[in-house]
Structure 1
Amino acid sequence: MHDLLPHISGQLSNVFDSITYFMPEVYLALLFIIVMITDLIFGKRSTGLCRTVACAGLVLVMYRDLTQFTLVVDGQHFIFSNMLLLSRSGIFFKLIIDLLSSILLLYFTWDNKLKAHSKGLSDLYSIAVASIFGMHLMVMAVNLLSIYLAIEMVSLASYLMVAYRTENSFSTEAGLKYVLFGAASSAIMLYGISLLYGFSGSLDVVFQSSIVQLSKVNPVSSSFAVILVLIGIGFKLSFVPAHFWVPDVYQGAPTPITAYLSTVPKIAAFALLINFLPPFILTSHWTGFDMGIALSIAGIITMIVGNFAAVMQNNVKRMLAYSSIGHTGFALMAVVVLSLQGVSALTYYLLVYAIANIGALALANYFANEAHAEEMEDYRGLGLKYPAASVCFVIILISLTGLPVTAGFTGKLFVFSAVYSVYQQTHNIWLMLLMVTGALTTVVSLFYYIRIPLYLFLKRKEMGEIADKKSYNLLILSGIISFLLILLGIFPDFVLRYL
C-alpha cells in the first residue's frame, strides 16, 4: 500500500487533465441522469418531455464533439492512463453516432405499436442515452478492459431495447435470443482478453511493447486469443460467423429499435475495430495469423451469406436484416487496407448506409402503420395508393444497392478506390477477391432490393380504403433522407472535405 502512495497524485493529475478531453461523455452522463429523473417525476406522461430533453441534450453533445477538433491538432491524444484514445477519426465517428441517434430518438414515437405500449416510452430514452454513452466509449477504447466495458454497456442497453415491448411474445423471444447470443459472445471475448493479458502482461494491447511480448508466445496460442476477442467485436458488427442473432432480433424488435441497432452500434463497432487492429496489421512484431487475410475471408463470406440469404426472404424487415450483414462484409473491405483513404471511405460509406437504412426501415414502418404490410405480398399495388412514400422507397433502395446517382454509389466507389489503390502497390490476391466479391454481391443485391418496387408498382390488387390518419412524420423523414442521398451522391464533397 505504501508503495502506491507516491503514484496517487500523478494518477489524480492524469484523471483531472483527461476530463478536458472527455466533456461530451460528461454531458451524456448528466443527460442520462436528467432524462431518468424526468421520467421518475412525471411518469407515463413524460414521453414527449423526455424525448425533447434527450434530443436537446444530444445537440449540446454534438457541439462539444465539434470543439474537440481543436484539442487534437496532432491527430490523437491518450487519456485516462491510456484507457481511451481521442483522435480526429474518432470525433467524426462520435458526431455521426450523435446525429443519427438524435434522428432515431425522434423516430421512436412514430411507430404505432411501440407508441401504444402500456408503460410509455419515457424509460426507453434513458436507456438510449446510456447506450450512446457506451458507444462513445467504444469509439475511444484502446485498452482491453475499456473495450470490454464499452461493449457490455452497449449490449445491455440493446437487450433492454429489443425486449421493450414485454406484452409482445415475438419481441420477448427476440430479446431472449439476443441476450443468449450476447452472453455467449461476451464470455468468449472475456476469455480471449484474459489470455492476451496473461501472454503480454498488459491490458494496453495496442502498444508495440505488448505486441513484442505476444511475439514471444506460441503463435497458435496468441492467435487463438486474438480470434476470441474478434468474435466479441464481431457480435456487434454481425459479420459471419457472429451473425446468427440478426434476422430474428431485427424482425422481432420494434422497427425503430431495429433501425437503431442496425446503424449506430455497428458504426461504433467499426470505430473500435479500427483502434484494435493497427498493432496486428501495421507492425512486423505480430507473429500470429495474418489479420488481413482473416478479415478478407470474413468479409468475402459475410458478403456472400448476407446477400444470398436476403434473396430468399419474404419479410421486409428480415430481408433488410440480411442485407445489413452484406453491407457489413462490404465495409470490412475498407478495414482490411487500414489506410487513411480507407478510413475516410469507411466513414463516408457507413454514414450514407446508415442514413439509407434508417430511411428503408422508416418506410417499412410507414407501410406497416398504413396498410399493415410486413411481407412482400402485402406491398402489391401500394405504389399507386401511396405514391410519395413509394417513390422515396425506390430512391432509398437504389442507394442501398449502390447505383448512380445516389450516395450509396459514391460510398461503394470510394471503398473500391481505397482497396484498389492498395492492391496496385501490393498486388495482394485477397484484395482482388474482395473487390470481385463486392462487385458480384452488389449485382445480387439488385434481385432482392428490386422486389419491393416490383410489388409496389407492377403487381396489382384491388384498391382498399386509404387510412384517414397518415404517418406524416415518417413520410417527411423518408423524403428528407431521399433528398440527402441524391444530394450526397452528386456532391460527396459536402462530407468528404471534412474526413
Structure 2
Amino acid sequence: MQAFDLYAVLPELVLLLATCVLLVASVFVREKVKSVPGVEQDIFHTPRGVGFVYFFSLILLAYLFLAFIGRLSDVSLVAMNGLFQSDSLSNLLKACSCGAVFVSLIYSKQYLSDRALFRPDFIVLILLALLGQFVLISGANLLTLYLGLELMALPMYALVAMRHSSEKSVEAGIKYFILGALASGFLLYGMSMLYGVTGSLDLIEIFKTVADPRVNHLVMAFGLVFIVAGLAFKLGVVPFHMWVPDVYQGAPTAVTLMIAAAPKLAAFALLFRLLVNTLLPLMGDWQPMLVLLAILSLVVGNVTAIAQTNVKRMLAYSAIAQMGFVLLGMLSVFDDHAFSASMFYAITYVLTTLGTFGLLMVLSRKGYDCETLEGLKGLNKKHPWFAFIGLVMMFSLAGIPPTVGFAAKLGVLEALVDAEHTFLAIIAVIASLIGAFYYLRVVKVMYFDEPAHEHSVSGSGFAKGVLSLNAILVLAIGMVPATLMSICLDAMRRTLLGS
C-alpha cells in the first residue's frame, strides 16, 4: 500500500474503526439512569452505552464532514490498485451524506427513545450503511461498486424490521430484503455480462473496450438492460418502485428518513459512475431507457400520491417523482451543467427531505406517530412556527419560489431545453403542476382545517433549533442558489477532467 492509497481511504478507515470501537465500547460503558419512584426501569428504554455511542457518533460525523469539505479542491486520484477513486464529486457527496446522517440522528433521538429503539446497534447499523455509501460513491471498479451497494443495503434491511413488535415493520423489512436482493441480482448479472465482453472489472478499461466497434454489441445491450433495471430498483423509479411506499410506511419514521435521505446521494453516484463514466459510448442504448423511466416516474409518482392520506406513503410516491427529475438531468450527455444540475437537485432534495421527516418526528410523541393528514390538521393554530416549517418544505418539494426546490427544478429544466429535449421539459412541468396539488393540500390542512386532536411537540431544544435552521437553509439557498450550484459545477468539472 502506497502513501496516497492510505490518504485516499483514510476517512473510510476512520469510520470503520470508530464504528467497531463504538460497538464494543457500548457494552462496557455504564450510564446513569434517573430512577422514578414506583416505576420499574425497563432495560430496553435505557440500554447501556447508547448516550456515549450517540454523542461520539455526532463528533465522528462532524469530523468526517469537515475532512471531506477540505478535500474538495484535491486532485482526482485512483487508489488501491484501481479499486477506489477520490475526486471532487465523491468528496462533495460524502460530505453531504455525513451532514444528512448527522441531522437525521439529531431528529431521531427523542422519537427512538419514546419507542425503545434508541439503542447502540441502531446507530452502529447507520454508520455501517454510511460506510457502504462511501465505498459506493468512490467505486472505480465493478466489484467495489457492488460491495459498496450491498454494505449500504444490508444494514438498512435490518433497520426497517427493527421494530419487531410491529407487523407492518416486519412485513416492510421482508419486502425490502427480497426486492433488494432481486435488484442486486439484476445488477450483478448485468455486471457479469460486461465483464464477459470486456474482460475487465475496471471502469476505465471497460470504457475503453466498450468504445471499440469490434465488441459484441448485442451482449453489451443485454448487460446494459440488466444494469439499468438494477439501478432503477435502487433508485425506486417506475416500474421498479413497488417496494418504496410499503417500506416508507412500514418502517419507523426515523428509519424512513435514513432511507429517504443520504442513500439518494449514493444512488446518484452509482448512476453517474456506471452510465457516464463507464458506458457513455452506449448512450444511444441507455438514453431511451432513462427517458421512459423518468416519464413513468413523474406521471405515476405524482398521480398516485394524490390518493394518499398517509403522509409517509405520499412522500414515498413524491420521492419516486423526484427521482424522475434526477434522471432527466442525466440525459444531456457531454454537458457538465446538466450533470451538476442533477447533482444539485439530489443534494437539495435530501435537504428538504430531512426537514419534512424531521417535522413528522417532532410532532410525534410516545404512543403516537404523526403519519396522516389527520394529524396535521390545524397545526398553525397551536404551533404556527412548525406549521411554517411544514409550509416551506411542501413549497420546496412542489418547486415553488423562493424555496430551493424551485431553483433545483429550474436547473434541470434549463438543461433539458439546452439539450433540445423540450418535450421532456413540458412533461416535467405538467407533472410538477400535478404534484403541487397534494403538496398544497398538506398546507391547506395545516392552515385552514380545524385541529382533529391536541397537538404536542416532542424533541429537545437542540433538535427543534436544527429543524428551524433546516427550514432557513431551504429558503436561503433557494433565494441565493449560485453558491451551491457553483460548488456542484466545479466538482463535476474537476471529476470529468480527472476521468
Alignment of 1:215-364 (within 5 A): 215-278=213-276, 282-283=280-281, 286=282, 290-338=285-333, 339-364=335-360
Corresponding residue of 1:101: 101
Counterpart of 2:436 in structure 1 is 446
Structure 2 counterpart of 1:37, which letter?
A: V
Counterpart-to-counterpart distance in 2, 1:466 and 1:21: 49
Question: Superposition pairs for residues 111-190 of structure 1, below 5 Å?
Answer: 111=111, 114-118=112-116, 120-190=118-188
Q: Structure 1's 454 and 105: CA in aligned 2 closer, same or farther, altered over 3 A? A: same
Distance in 1, matches of 2:72 and 2:450, equals 54
**Matches of 1:353 and 1:70, distance apart in 2:** 24
8 Å contact from structure 2 (residues 228, 286) kept in 1: no
2:39 aligned residue: none
Matched residue, 1:395: 392
Question: Partner of 2:264: helix, strand, or coil?
Answer: helix
- Quote the Cα distance in structure 1 between the aligned partners of 2:26 and 2:245: 32
Q: Name the CA shift for 1:106/1:139 in 2 (closer, same or farther; >3 Å).
A: same
Displacement after TM superposition at 1:117 (Å): 4.3
- Displacement, 1:229? 1.9
Following TM superposition, by how much is the alpha carbon of 1:466 offset from its aligned partner in structure 2, in angstroms? 5.1
How many angstroms apart in 2 are the aligned matches of 1:477 and 1:384?
A: 22
Q: Contact 1:399–1:408 (CA<8 Å) still a contact in 2?
A: yes
Question: Mean Cα displacement is larger for which, 216-225 or 432-441?
Answer: 216-225
Q: CA deviation at 1:435?
A: 0.9
Q: Secondary structure at the match of 1:78?
A: strand
Rate the CA distance shift 1:199–1:357 in 2: closer, same or farther, 3 A: same
Find the counterpart in structure 1 of residue 33 from structure 2.
none
Q: CA deviation at 1:324?
A: 0.5
Q: Is the 8 Å Cα contact of residues 251 and 318 (structure 1) preserved in structure 2?
A: yes
Structure 2 contact 306–437 (Cα < 8 Å) conserved: yes
Q: What is the aligned length?
A: 469
Q: Which residue of 1 aligns with 2:365?
A: 369
The amino acid across from 1:19 in the alignment is L
Change (3 A) 1:279 1:55: closer
Q: Is the 8 A contact 2:73 2:88 kept in 1?
A: no
- Alpha-carbon distance, 1:379 to partner: 2.8
> 3-state DSSP class of the match of 2:401?
coil
The letter for the 1-side match of 2:439 is Y
User: Do 1:206 and 1:278's aligned partners in 2 also have CA atoms closer than 8 Å?
Assistant: no
Aligned with 1:47 (options 46, 50, 63): 50
Q: Structure 2: how far apart are the matches of 1:267 and 1:337?
A: 19
CA–CA separation in structure 2 for the residues paired with 1:473 and 1:401: 28
- Is 1:35–1:125's contact at 8 Å kept on the other side of the alignment? no
Query: Quick check: 1:281–1:292 contact (8 Å CA) kept in 2?
Result: no
Amino acid at match of 1:164: M
Aligned counterpart in structure 2 of residue 37 of structure 1, from 10, 20, 24? 24
Superposed displacement of residue 70, structure 1: 4.7
- Structure 1 residue 346: deviation in Å? 2.0
Look up the SS of the partner of 2:294 in the other structure.
Answer: helix
Which consecutive unaligned segments of at least 5 residues does structure 2 have? Answer: 31-46, 489-499
Q: Contact between 1:342 and 1:418, CA under 8 Å: does it hold in 2?
A: yes
Is the CA contact 2:107–2:459 (under 8 Å) kept in the aligned structure 1? Answer: no
Distance 1:367-1:119 versus aligned 2 partners, 3 A rule: closer
Q: Deviations over 1:233-277 (max 9, x none)?
A: 222211122211000001111111111111111111101211111
Secondary structure of the equivalent of 1:85? strand
Distance 1:66 1:386, change over 3 A: closer
CA distance in 2, matches of 1:190, 1:277: 15
- 2:474 counterpart of 1:485: yes
Q: Match of 1:460, SS?
A: coil
Report if the CA contact (8 A) 1:219-1:289 is conserved: no
Partner of residue 19, structure 1: 6
Deviations 1:392-440 (CA, angstroms, capped at 9, x unpaired): 10111001110111111111111222222222xxxxxxx2232112111
Q: Which amino acid aligns with 2:13?
A: V
- Contact 2:365/2:457 (8 A) holds in 1: no
Q: Distance in 1 between matches of 2:254 and 2:105?
A: 9
**Residues 83-114 of structure 1: CA distance to partner in whole angstroms, max 9, x if unpaired?**
12222122111111111111112222131xx3
Find the aligned partners of 2:267 and 2:456 in 1 and give their Cα distance.
40
| Residue equivalent to 1:86 | 86
**Partner secondary structure for residue 420 of structure 1:** helix
Q: Distance in 2 between matches of 1:156 and 1:255?
A: 19
TM-score normalized by the length of structure 1:
0.88
Following TM superposition, by how much is the alpha carbon of 1:142 offset from its aligned partner in structure 2, in angstroms? 2.6
Q: Equivalences for 1:432-471 in 2 at 5 Å?
A: 432-461=422-451, 464-465=453-454, 467=456
Cα deviation, residue 482, structure 1: 1.4
- Per the alignment, residue 41 of structure 2 pairs with none
- Please tell me the residue identity of whatever aligns with 1:407: V
Q: Is residue 383 from structure 1 mapped to residue 380 from structure 2 by the alignment?
A: yes
1:21–1:68 Cα contact (<8 Å) kept? no
Alpha-carbon distance between aligned partners in 1 of 2:278 and 2:68, rounded to the nearest angstrom:
29
**Separation in structure 2 between the aligned mates of residue 469 and residue 373 of structure 1, nearest angstrom:** 11
Deviation at residue 205 of structure 1 after TM alignment: 3.9
Q: Distance in 2 between matches of 1:221 and 1:379?
A: 53
CA contact (8 A) 1:236 1:265 kept: no
Deviations 1:422-472 (A, max 9, x none): 22xxxxxxx22321121111101111101111112222256x545486765
The offset of 1:281, in angstroms, is: 5.8
Q: What SS class does the counterpart of residue 335 from structure 1 fall into? A: coil
Q: Which amino acid aligns with 1:432?
A: T
User: Which residues of structure 1 form unaligned runs of 5+?
Assistant: 1-11, 424-430
Change in CA separation of 1:451 and 1:290 when aligned onto 2, cut-off 3 Å: same
Deviations 1:321-375 (A, max 9, x none): 1001100001111112142112221222222211111111122223333875422
One-letter amino acid of the structure 2 residue matched with residue 386 of structure 1: H
Under a length normalisation based on structure 2, what TM-score does the superposition of the two structures give?
0.88
CA change 1:196–1:412 in 2 (3 A) is: same
> In 2, Cα distance between the equivalents of 1:96 and 1:469?
26
Following superposition, the deviation at residue 119 of structure 1 comes to 6.1
Structure 1 residue 493, shift from structure 2 partner: 2.5
Query: Cα 1:249–1:93, aligned 2, differ >3 Å: closer, same or farther?
Result: same
